[in-house]
Amino acid sequence: MAQGETEGPVGGSAVVSSAATGKDGGAAHEVLAVVFQIRQNRLSVLLWCRALPPFEGCWALPGGRLGATEGLGESVRRQLAQKVDVRDLSHLEQLETRGEPGRHPGGRTLATAYLGLVPAGIDPVVPHDTAWHPAAELPCMAFDHAAIVGSARRRLRAKLSYTNIGFALAPPEFTMSELSRYYRAALGHDVAATNLRRVLLRRGQIEETGRSVPSGRSGGRPAALFRFRTRSLEITDAFAVLRPPQG
């Protein structure tokens, strides 16, 4: 069974088609989706458990064979919708294509992978053989899917520095404390809420809503609610890097 690529909101139960060569004797082509969400303050990736060889019992990225009349984006959306029932993606982009001759034991198979993000606070209902796993602590993975997850993590970290892609990790409204936790989970290092607020306001990524959440039982000032100014991808600082704290 082979995997596929994904590009957008979709869903279904995870089954993978066999990776036979194409009708003209050339390489087969599959699409794969690396779907991330911040869950319990950890960057998590959606995986499904393979029931058949090769790699029986290992975990894999959702996806499947590219249809004869499908575009890549169309196929990715169909794969996600039909196989893992994920329809709440806030962002989807093409990540990379892999074509190493030995990447699939069933024969030469190209794989185009997509990066998809689900905002925090949504809990998609997924099939019984599908589960969220911490991206930093992957289980036994099939094929080269662990390496693809690594590529997706690096892409997300880079784009958090120079774009407003944080909108795809956050709910529509949030406190700065909440947003700093999402950034911390994705970047893998501490992010101070006050510094993040200053940086994102200066770059024009976020704005105050004029509302706040009540203070807790310990008292203190109500926390202001923020939102991203736009919920579509924009480059806001082409040369910026969000670095870990020094010292």
Do 148 and 176 reside in the same domain of the chain? no
> Does residue 139 form part of some domain?
yes
Do 208 and 122 reside in the same domain of the chain? no
pLDDT digits (tens, 9 = 90+) for 7-53: 333 333 333 334 445 555 578 999 999 999 999 999 999 999 999 99
152 touches 141 (CB < 8 A): no
Do 70 and 186 reside in the same domain of the chain? no
User: Looking at residue 242, what is its pLDDT?
Assistant: 79
> Does residue 196 form part of some domain?
yes
For residue 122, give its domain range. 28-158
**Residues 28, 86, 146, 144, Cα dihedral to 10°:** -10
The CATH number linked to 38 is: 3.90.79.10
Name every residue whose Cβ is closer than 8 Å to that of residue 152 and which is 6 or more positions away in sequence: 34, 36, 45, 95, 113, 115
pTM, two decimal places: 0.87
Do 75 and 140 reside in the same domain of the chain? yes
Single residue among 158, 177, 212 that ends a domain in this structure: 158
- Split into its structural domains, the chain has a count of 2
Instruction: Provide the percentage of residues in the chain whose pLDDT is more than 70.
Output: 87
Which is higher by pLDDT, 186 or 12? 186
pLDDT digits (tens, 9 = 90+) for 50-86: 999 999 999 999 999 999 999 999 999 899 988 888 8
Q: On the CB side of 239, how many CA atoms lie within 13 Å of its CA?
A: 0
Token pair listed for 231: 């919920």
* Helix (H) / strand (E) containing 130: strand 130-134
pLDDT digits (tens, 9 = 90+) for 105-160: 989 999 999 999 999 999 988 999 999 999 999 999 999 999 999 999 999 999 99
Q: How far apart are the first and last CA of the chain?
A: 48
User: Looking at residue 25, what is its pLDDT?
Assistant: 59
Amino acid at 36: F
> Does residue 247 form part of some domain?
no
User: Looking at residue 13, what is its pLDDT?
Assistant: 31
25 touches 84 (CB < 8 A): no
Do 63 and 123 reside in the same domain of the chain? yes
Do 218 and 176 reside in the same domain of the chain? yes
Do 134 and 183 reside in the same domain of the chain? no
The CATH number linked to 177 is: 1.10.10.10
